[in-house]
C-alpha cells in the first residue's frame, strides 16, 4: 500500500468511447504525475501537476486530457483512443518536485487499458 490509489484497475474501451482514469493520493503531496508503460517500452512521463497547475506536458496527443481538481486527485480523460494506446497507465505523487534530494515518487498500481 503506497498511499496512491488508482481506479479502475482494468478498463476495456472501444475507439469511440469516452472514459476516465482516476488517481487519489492520501500522502499530502503537492505534485502528481501520469506515466504510460507500453509493452516492452520504458515508462514515459505524460503529465505533471504541481499545486494543481500543469507544469509538464510531454507532447501527449490531445485525445488524453488530464485534470487536477485539487492536490489529492488526478484524472486522465480518454476519448477516441487508438489500439496503440493500450498500456498500463501509472499515477504517482511526490511531496515536491523529484530529482535532487527533494524526495521520492510514490506510484499507484496502475490502470491496465485495452482499446479495441
Write out the residues near other proteins by the rule CB under 8 A: 2, 4, 31, 33, 35, 42-43, 45, 48, 50, 55-56, 90, 92, 97-102, 104-110
Q: Which is nearer to other proteins, 6 or 81 (CB)?
A: 6
Q: How far apart are CA 32 and CA 93, in angstroms?
A: 4
Print the SS3 string covering 65-78.
Answer: EEEEEECCEEEEEE
Minimum gap (Å) between residue 116 Cβ and other proteins? 22
What are phi and psi for residue 83, nearest 5 degrees? Answer: -55, -30
Q: How far is the CB of 61 from other proteins (least distance, A)?
A: 19
Q: Which of residues 67 and 109 has its CB atom nearest to other proteins in the complex?
A: 109
Please provide residue 41's backbone torsions phi and psi, each rounded to the nearest 5 degrees: -130, 150
**Cβ at position 35, least distance to other proteins in Å:** 8
Amino acid at each position: 500500500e503506497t498511499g496512491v490509489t488508482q481506479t479502475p484497475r482494468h478498463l476495456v474501451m472501444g475507439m469511440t468511447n469516452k472514459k476516465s482514469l482516476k488517481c487519489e493520493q492520501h500522502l499530502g503531496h503537492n505534485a502528481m504525475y501520469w506515466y504510460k508503460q507500453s509493452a516492452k517500452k520504458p515508462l514515459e512521463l505524460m503529465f505533471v501537476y504541481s499545486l494543481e497547475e500543469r507544469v509538464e506536458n510531454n507532447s501527449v496527443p490531445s485525445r488524453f486530457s488530464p485534470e487536477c481538481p485539487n492536490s489529492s486527485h488526478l484524472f486522465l480523460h480518454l476519448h477516441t483512443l487508438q489500439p496503440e494506446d493500450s498500456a498500463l497507465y501509472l499515477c504517482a505523487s511526490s511531496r515536491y518536485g523529484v530529482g535532487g534530494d527533494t524526495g521520492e515518487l510514490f506510484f499507484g498500481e496502475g490502470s491496465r487499458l485495452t482499446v479495441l
